[in-house]
């Protein structure tokens, strides 16, 4: 299921009211940049503001309100707030589980790793270690060893 959330904020500046509301595809953002930074810029873009306007500075002082979550985001939106850290951690874990679950089923005949928490933890840690090693192998510094 797609993970989305609606983000909105409203503010007044010099007698003019500004209101921005966008639906954010959390999966696309996580795949592109790995975090949820840049939400204010996305909201500003939606109403034609850029970082060089005074309105933008005022906008940054306002809290973003979140609503209408879908997918994993449903667990992390409460009272207009999005638990970014919780969402990111769960989203990343789910992506890893999507890779390792079929492997566990194929080689260990385990159809649900959540019933084997210790093994799940070990496999997730191995996956992450492999990702870190891959990053080191592909980094420019590795050619100097």
Q: Write down the domain spans for the chain.
A: 4-82, 92-144
What three-state secondary structure class fits 92?
A: helix
Pick the range with the lowest mean pLDDT from 7-16, 79-88, 97-106, 130-139.
130-139
Tell me, what DSSP letter sits at residue 18? E
Mean pLDDT of the region 118-132: 89
**Do the Cβ atoms of 142 and 136 come closer than 8 Å?**
yes
Q: 133 or 144: whose pLDDT is higher?
A: 133
In which band, very low, low, confident or very high, does the pLDDT at 63 lie, cut at 50, 70 and 90? Answer: very high
User: What is the predicted pLDDT for the residue at 145?
Assistant: 47
| pLDDT(51) > 80 | yes
Residue 6: C-alpha distances to residues 18, 22, 60, 85 (Å): 17, 6, 18, 17
| pLDDT(94) > 70 | yes
């Amino acid at each position: 299921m797609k993970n989305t959330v609606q983000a909105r904020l409203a503010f007044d500046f010099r007698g003019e009211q500004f209101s921005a509301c966008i639906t954010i595809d959390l999966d696309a953002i996580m795949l592109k940049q790995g975090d949820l930074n840049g939400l204010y810029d996305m909201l500003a873009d939606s109403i034609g503001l850029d970082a060089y306007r005074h309105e933008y500075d005022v906008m940054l002082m306002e809290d973003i309100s979140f609503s209408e979550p879908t997918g994993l985001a449903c667990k992390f939106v409460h009272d207009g707030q999005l638990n970014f850290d919780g969402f990111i951690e769960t989203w990343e874990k789910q992506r890893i589980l999507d890779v390792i679950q079929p492997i566990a089923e194929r080689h260990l005949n385990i159809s649900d790793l959540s019933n084997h928490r210790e093994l799940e933890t070990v496999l997730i840690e191995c996956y992450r270690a492999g990702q870190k090693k891959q990053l080191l192998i592909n980094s420019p510094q590795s050619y100097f060893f």
